[in-house]
Every structure is written in C-alpha cells, then in structure tokens.
Structure 1
Amino acid sequence: MLLTLSTTHRPATDLGFLLHKNPARAQTVEIGAGTAHVFYPEATDERCTVALLLEVDPIALVRGSRGAEGFSLGQYVNDRPYAASSLLAVALGKAFASARRGVSKERPELPGTALPLEVHLPALSCRGGAEMARRFFEPLGWTVDARAVPLDPEFPQWGDSRYVDLRLTGTLRLADAINHLYVALPVLDDAKHYWVGTDEVDKLLRAGGGWLAGHPERELITRRYLAHRGSLARQAMARLAEVDDLDTERLDDAVPEEPVDTPVPLVLQRHGAVLAALRSAGATRVLDLGCGDGALLRALLDERQLTEIVGVDVSARALEIAARRLHLDRLPERQRDRITLRQGALTYTDARLRGYDAAVLMEVVEHLDPDRLPALERTVFADAAPGTVVVTTPNVEHNVRYENLAAGSMRHRDHRFEWTRAEFADWASGVAGRHGYAVRFVPVGSDDPEVGPPTQMAVFTRTAQEAAA
C-alpha cells in the first residue's frame, strides 16, 4: 500500500527537515505486520514528494490477528496488503513520529508554518465511499478529490468497489496533516487489525487535539476509531467535552449497551444553563454570537418559544458546517424561517444585531485577545444592546481538577486567556455599570467548594431606566 505527500513550499526540500527523513537516502521502519519504506521520488527546491510504501507480511499479520476473518483462507487472501487501512496508519505514526509532534531541531520555525500540501492514496479502503472521505476531510480544510474504484473496469455493470482513489490538497501544518491521516485511515476503513483497548482513547485524543472536538462528524469518527466499543466511545466524548471545552452530543444507538450511570457532560449542562436563562428572561428573538458550527443553535431550535434565532460567526466555513449540521436545506419551511446564519465580526458595529431580546456569547470571550474586549463590549452592550446578555467562560481555577491537563495549560489551544472567578466578576461588573445592566453570576457544572465550577456564567439584564431610555 502506498501514500505520497508533496509540497511546493520554497524550498520544497524543507519537507525533509520536518519529517526527519533525508531526501537523499531511503529508510526502512519495521512494524509488527511488515516493513515500511520511506523514500523521495522527487526532491527539488520547487517540489518535493515523500512516499511511504508498506510491504505487509501476511503470515506475520495472521500471527498477530484477533482471529479468522470469516473463513480460514480469508486470513491469507484479503485486501490488507494492498488497500490503505490501520496498517498504514501504524506505519505512518512510527515513521513520522517526530513530525506528528510538530518538532524540528534544524528548522524550529517550520512546524508552525502552514504549507501547500498534496496527499495521494491510490487505494483507500473506505466504508461509505467517496462521500464519507469528503465528510471526514473537508471540514478540516482539505480540498477532496475522491473517486470510487470500480470492481472491474472491464465490467462496469458490476458497480463500484469499497475503495477510493483519494487526492487531498490544502494549506496546513504538516503535523496536522499527518494526524488527520493517522486517524482517518482506520476510521474510513472502519476496522482495525489489532485489539482496541482503553489506550486507544488516549491515542485518538492526542492525534485529534485541536480539531476533533470541533469536527461535525466527531461522533462517527470516535465510534469507528474505537471499533464501536460503546464504553470507550462515551469516555472519549466526555473527555472531549470537558477538557477541550468544546461541544459534544450524546451518542446514538449505533453502539447499544446497557445503560450506565454517567455524569451529564459539561457542554450539555452549559446548554441547559443558557436555555434556562433565556426562558427566565422571556426571550423570543435571540442572537447566538460566535455560534461556531451550530452546537447551541440546534438546542435553540428545540425551544418553541423562540420565534427568531440568528447565528453570527466570523468564519464562513464554520457557518457552512453549521448549515449542514442543522440540515437547513431539509428543514420544514416553518422551522427554516426561524433561523438565520450571518457572517460578521463581533468587534465591529453591525446594525442588523439591534432590537433582539437576548444575546448569547457561549465560550466566546476567551478566544479574543484581551485588547479586543472593549470593542466586543461596545458592539454587544452599547450598539446591539439586547435586553438580556448571557456570557459563559471557563473558570481557570477549576483546571486543577482535570488530570489530563498539564499545569498552567489552558483548556483549548485557541484560548487567549482564562479568567478566575474574581477576574470574570470584575470584568462583568464593569461592563454592567458602564452600559446600564444588572448582572448576576451562575455556576455551571459541579460547584467545587475549593476551586468553583468548571464554567462560570454571567446573566446581564438591562435596568428599567436604561430600557425606558
């Protein structure tokens, strides 16, 4: 099985420094089921291509297998030596381990640089076909050319096989690209050649750091990567929701299992607190500012008293994902008329945001540089001036309760800051006083007696005098 990765970054041979593999010589890496060869078919300043070729030893593969695949001969006669799958993912992870971590001693500035990249997998095992490949890679910023491989070109009436010829192009960090592929290969194949245990959860979260929590297909990705083991999938989703501080949903019935007594994920508690505040305010027309890929919008649509819902985000791609996630093209007309998605920056005045009952900034303020907060304050509280504003943000004091979060780290790589309870109260009280609002504070999640809740929420309500003015 073969994978090639190319760049036209100048000089293109910088690819060798990122991969820790010299373009001038071929290298081999042994894995349990065979030998991986790393070599460069081309290496010039204009274009450089690295190839990863995996030779599978079918006897070694059978010795390490979990059992027969349907029938005895099937252990020896199958697609494993030819189609990209979890075998290639293992080779990729081992051959390019340093590149996956994003380190380069010779060129320390390179790992953080987005490069023009091209990836080619001529034979990818893909359960779900070309459409499934697009669902995985397009939200990650790739342009996808996925073409189904016919069962037999001489007999087109036989239809397509489960394999696709996949080409990806995009401008990304190399470490991100490799981690995308590392997760994608077993997920698209929907099978693994080795036993899936609890350590696979850690592998998935490491490789998916920074992108998996926000992926619209994260539930499917998690289930498939963890071989549809329901307990492991739920564990992974809960960790994504709490540590990465991004959205998650309950898994569907694809992995039925006896019900277990598990805590409600923090993100669902956050949704519940926001909705309760909106109900208490009697809001019917609501802004979701910084709506991202539409997690809260889905919950807002379920609130029948809301007659108008507007999602605003600076990212056009996030809004596209939100539209797909909400199935806007398939909603009944009455439902579709209730919701609008708009692109806009929250630090610039937008007259379209005026006149609404309430605005929500759920896990938004911490993604802004501190010197941009006054502009956000002016846009929301002075220009738009809704009757109620609901703001949620992480409580940094609670971070010590997360065992997998390194000391001093923030919950998400894009956070510019995380406030203590006193810092949040000081900011919110100042905003309220400057713009004629009263503010109250609500803990979200378990309110730890020592470090407080994981999420802190402020509910701003315009005073009667200000509303009359």
Structure 2
Amino acid sequence: MFLTLGTDLAGVGVPASDFGFLLHKNPARPQVIDVTGGSAHVFYPEATAERCTAAVLLEIDPIGLVKAGRGKAAEGFTLGQYVNDRPYAASSLLAVAIGKLFRTAMNGRCDARPELAARAIPLEIHVPALPCNGGGDLAQRLFAPLGWTVDARPVPLDPEIPAWGDSRYVDLRLTGVLRLAEALNHLYVMLPVLDDAKHYWVGSDEVDKLVRAGEGWLAEHPEKELISRRYLAHRRYLSDAALERLAEADGQELVEESPDEGTVSLAIERRATVAAVLRELGARRIADIGCGEGALVGELLKDPMIGELIATDVSVRAMVAAKRRLHYDDLPDRQRDRLKFLQSSVTYADERLAGLDAVVLMEVVEHVDPPRLPALAQSIFRAARPGAVVMTTPNCEYNVRFPSLPAGRFRHPDHRFEWTRAEFEGWARDVAATYGYQVEFRPVGAVDPEVGAPTQLALFRREEA
C-alpha cells in the first residue's frame, strides 16, 4: 500500500521542507511503526526548499493479519483470508496507519510552526491503487465538495488486454489548497468509505471517530448520509446516531460562535447560568428534560448539594451518548446513585418526574412543533408541577449578529421556531398565569443594546412554593 503527500508551499514564504514540521516527521530520518498485521513506513522521496513529498508505505503480512483476527473471509472461502488485495490497495488499514502516524497533525497542532499549521497550503495527494466501489465518479462526489481537484483514473484489469476492461481500482490524485489537518482527516474518513469495507469490527466507538474526524466539514457534505453509512459498515443504528450528532454539532456551531474573539462560548455560559440559577433556588432534586448528550448533567454532577439528578430524552441514542460522555459506568457508586436516566417525552405527562424541586428545559422548547406547546405546558406545569422551572431558548432577534447564519435560517436544523423576546415573554406569562407560577426573565450572554442577549431565560416559581 502506498500514498504520497506533497507540497511546494508556493506563496507561503517558507522552505517546502518545513512540511516535515507539520507532519511531525523528520525528512532526514525514515520512521516505522507497527500496525495490525504489518508495519507502516514514512520517508521523503524529496525534501528541498522548492518541494517536499512524504510517502507512506504500508507493508501488510496476510498471515499476520489473519492471526490477529482481522482478515477473516466469508465462511467457506478460507483461501480468501490469505489471498486478497489488502497488502496492495489503499483501505481502512491505510486509514488506521495514517491515524497512528499523523495523529498530532490531524489535530492541527504544530508547536514548531503554529502559523503554518493554521494556514491553507498547496497540497497534492496520490494514491496509486484505491479500491473504489462506485468508480471515479464517486471519488469526485466525495472529494470535490471539500475543495479538491480530483483526478480518478480507472486502473485496467490488464494493460496488455484492453478487452478485459477496468478493475474496481482507481489511480487517485487530489490537488487543492487546504490545511494539512483537514486533508488528513478527509483521507482518514474517505479511504474506507470508497473501499466500502473495514478490516475490523465496527462498534459504537466508530461513531465517535467519524464525528471527530468529520468536524467542520462532514455535517454540510452533500453525501454525508452515504459517507456515514459506508464508514459505519451499513449498520443503520450507528449511521443514524452519527447523523444525529452531526446535525447537533452543525447547530451548535452557529449557536456557540462568538462575535468577539476570546469570549467564552455561549454554550458554556448558558450551562453556567442555569447551574447558578439552580444553586440560587437551593434545588436538591432536579430533572434535565431533553438532556441531549449530557453537557448540563455533567456540570450539575459537580455540585455535591444536588441529591437526585434525573436526565431524560426522547432519544435513546442521545441517552447512550450522554452515558458515554459522562463515563457513567465508571462513575463512583455515590455519583452513579445520584443520577438516573429516563426515556421520556416533554409533551407527555410522566409521573416519574412529579414533585421535584426544579425542572430544566435548556434549549428544548424550540424543538417542539407549535401545536404541541400546550401539551408541553400541561406535562411540565400541571402533571410534574415542580417547585421551579428553568427554561432557555434562542432569542431570534440576535440571529443577525451571527455572520455565518443566513437570513431567515434557524440556528439548528431541528428548530421548529425561534421566538423574539416579546413572543417568549408573552407565552411564558400566559403559562405562568394558567398554572399558578410567577415568572421572571434573565438574559444569557452579552446583551446587545439593539437586539438583546443571544439566549433568553425564564425562571418560573410555583406560587405556593
């Protein structure tokens, strides 16, 4: 298996050999690491001031791969475990090697040349033999939206016998001006996607890898469903989980961005504000309704004064992700006894949530269809009837302050609506009057003199509480 990455750093004003700093691999010293079933080598065919090329050579031992349990073929085809294209054709084996060889570069870190790591530079990638289940057209569909110029030429089955036609392999060349970290993450994801196969078992941890490697580009890719499905070995429950997390990440990018460099992200400030309000209330028994991936739950678990914490979500996948994020199974018994996860819908009465000190709906109400809002109010304020309700929601008037948010678009693709300050206050006052609560409003985030704060918070207190 063979791959090259080259650059001339034209227009950057530094020697091309500085490419070695970005890759964290010295051009003067070839390196080798062990990988499953073989070894991966990095060396530089050229490293001058004008041009630098790094090569990755992956040597796979088919027998070693089978002994490691990673080369199993279908039952009844034992020979296929040993005689296959794994030693020669780019695949998930090469993607894993890239992840091990260039982990720091994939994260965008380079202490020696930080300004270079942050810049888009001219890059050329060559993969001479790439299994491509979909041909060159698929390679074009996957890489072109990411800013690459794609040259994917079919490899003939036998150059001496043209009548046999083309093989399933392509000779792939990518050229473009991108950050090196972006390029490496593109390769890490796309190699197994184009091959449409992985050499190892695909479990839920692969969702984390996909979301991490796809940060900043996969959520908006026109082929994100195909990419997720293939990367996760066509396991529907995993690809659904990945797409859900990508959608959430896409929305959070808009919500959390700050107009002023160096300010605390809105998501962090929102969680801190809600936690402070709960401490102000002295709440000891709390439910986080629509907990998502558990960011607020993790914050509240730090407060030893909270005796019971219930995390609910309508999505089982979200609760699984929350448990994974919180390392729930590894929590000390005392911590785990304080925390309970329940599948529950905010629009249906749930007696398990009745009589708590406080209920939190943080960025939840805007995900509910407007005709279902009366059901939400009844389930929370009449059926559960907590001592207090803390509710946050976007202030849509502030959306004009987000440069990357097109006019008329919501902050998250799953939002059913977004309220102005007057609309939210009107709805909240009606609910409070109907169910016997008092309500006050607080801003979350820096207050703009014209459009207010980015997030609006309502604190409902039960009148007899």
TM-score (norm 2): 0.58
C-alpha distance in structure 2 between counterparts of 1:29 and 1:140, whole Å: 30
Show the counterpart of 1:57: 61
Show the counterpart of 2:125: 119
Matched position secondary structure for 2:96: helix
Show the counterpart of 2:73: 68
Q: Is 2:209 aligned against 1:209?
A: no
Show the counterpart of 2:341: none
What one-letter code is carried by the residue in structure 1 that aligns with 2:25? Answer: K
Q: Return the match for 1:153 from 150, 159, 167.
A: 159
**Correspondences of 1:364-383 after superposition (within 5 Å):** 365=400, 367-368=402-403
Q: Is 2:24 aligned against 1:6?
A: no
C-alpha distance in structure 2 between counterparts of 1:12 and 1:208, whole Å: 27
CA 1:392 to 1:420, structure 2 compared with 1: closer, same or farther past 3 Å?
farther
Q: Return the match for 1:171 from 161, 172, 177.
A: 177
Q: Alpha-carbon deviation of 1:262?
A: 7.0
Q: Is 2:174 aligned against 1:139?
A: no
Give the conservation status (yes or no) of the 8 Å contact 1:362–1:392: no
Q: Alpha-carbon deviation of 1:242?
A: 1.2
Give the conservation status (yes or no) of the 8 Å contact 1:362–1:393: no
Give the conservation status (yes or no) of the 8 Å contact 2:398–2:451: no
CA 1:391 to 1:218, structure 2 compared with 1: closer, same or farther past 3 Å?
closer
C-alpha distance in structure 1 between counterparts of 2:452 and 2:124, whole Å: 50
Q: Alpha-carbon deviation of 1:448?
A: 9.4
Matched position secondary structure for 2:411: strand
What one-letter code is carried by the residue in structure 1 that aligns with 2:194? Answer: L
CA 1:40 to 1:420, structure 2 compared with 1: closer, same or farther past 3 Å?
farther
CA 1:139 to 1:75, structure 2 compared with 1: closer, same or farther past 3 Å?
same
Superposed CA deviations along residues 193-224 of structure 1, whole A, max 9, x for unmatched, are: 00011111111111111101011100100011
Matched position secondary structure for 2:5: strand
Give the conservation status (yes or no) of the 8 Å contact 2:5–2:55: yes
CA 1:39 to 1:242, structure 2 compared with 1: closer, same or farther past 3 Å?
same
C-alpha distance in structure 1 between counterparts of 2:6 and 2:227, whole Å: 26
Give the conservation status (yes or no) of the 8 Å contact 1:213–1:246: no
Give the conservation status (yes or no) of the 8 Å contact 1:190–1:227: yes
**Correspondences of 1:427-442 after superposition (within 5 Å):** 427-428=450-451
CA 1:27 to 1:424, structure 2 compared with 1: closer, same or farther past 3 Å?
same
CA 1:66 to 1:6, structure 2 compared with 1: closer, same or farther past 3 Å?
closer
Show the counterpart of 1:465: none
Give the conservation status (yes or no) of the 8 Å contact 1:240–1:246: no
C-alpha distance in structure 2 between counterparts of 1:153 and 1:363, whole Å: 62
Matched position secondary structure for 1:103: coil
Identical-residue share of aligned pairs (%): 59
**Correspondences of 1:45-444 after superposition (within 5 Å):** 45-63=49-67, 64-65=69-70, 67-69=72-74, 71-245=77-251, 365=400, 367-368=402-403, 390=408, 392-393=410-411, 427-428=450-451
Show the counterpart of 1:15: 19
What one-letter code is carried by the residue in structure 2 that aligns with 1:198? Answer: S
Greater mean deviation of Cα atoms: 70-79 or 188-197: 70-79
Give the conservation status (yes or no) of the 8 Å contact 1:2–1:51: yes
C-alpha distance in structure 2 between counterparts of 1:103 and 1:220, whole Å: 30
Superposed CA deviations along residues 384-403 of structure 1, whole A, max 9, x for unmatched, are: xxxxxx56337xxxxxxxxx
CA 1:216 to 1:450, structure 2 compared with 1: closer, same or farther past 3 Å?
farther
Show the counterpart of 2:358: none
Q: Alpha-carbon deviation of 1:33?
A: 1.5
Q: Alpha-carbon deviation of 1:367?
A: 4.1
What one-letter code is carried by the residue in structure 2 that aligns with 1:33? Answer: G
Q: Is 2:71 aligned against 1:36?
A: no
C-alpha distance in structure 2 between counterparts of 1:420 and 1:126, whole Å: 52
Superposed CA deviations along residues 17-75 of structure 1, whole A, max 9, x for unmatched, are: 00111101111011112100100000000000000000001112112226324600011
Matched position secondary structure for 2:114: coil
Please provide the CA RMSD for this pair.
3.7
C-alpha distance in structure 2 between counterparts of 1:99 and 1:362, whole Å: 40
What one-letter code is carried by the residue in structure 2 that aligns with 1:32? Answer: T
C-alpha distance in structure 2 between counterparts of 1:450 and 1:231, whole Å: 37
C-alpha distance in structure 2 between counterparts of 1:176 and 1:272, whole Å: 36
Superposed CA deviations along residues 379-419 of structure 1, whole A, max 9, x for unmatched, are: x8xxxxxxxxx56337xxxxxxxxxxxxxxxxxxxxxxxx9
Give the conservation status (yes or no) of the 8 Å contact 2:124–2:174: yes
Superposed CA deviations along residues 292-338 of structure 1, whole A, max 9, x for unmatched, are: xxxxxxxxxxxxxxxxxxxxxxxxxxxxxxxxxxxxxxxxxxxxxxx
Show the counterpart of 2:29: 25
What one-letter code is carried by the residue in structure 2 that aligns with 1:58? Answer: P
TM-score (norm 1): 0.57
C-alpha distance in structure 1 between counterparts of 2:220 and 2:369, whole Å: 21
Give the conservation status (yes or no) of the 8 Å contact 1:7–1:49: yes
C-alpha distance in structure 1 between counterparts of 2:128 and 2:443, whole Å: 51
- Structure 2: stretches of 5+ with no match in the other structure: 254-314, 319-344, 346-361, 373-395, 413-441, 461-465
Matched position secondary structure for 1:393: coil
C-alpha distance in structure 1 between counterparts of 2:72 and 2:24, whole Å: 36
Matched position secondary structure for 1:201: helix
Show the counterpart of 1:286: none
Matched position secondary structure for 2:16: coil
C-alpha distance in structure 2 between counterparts of 1:47 and 1:363, whole Å: 48
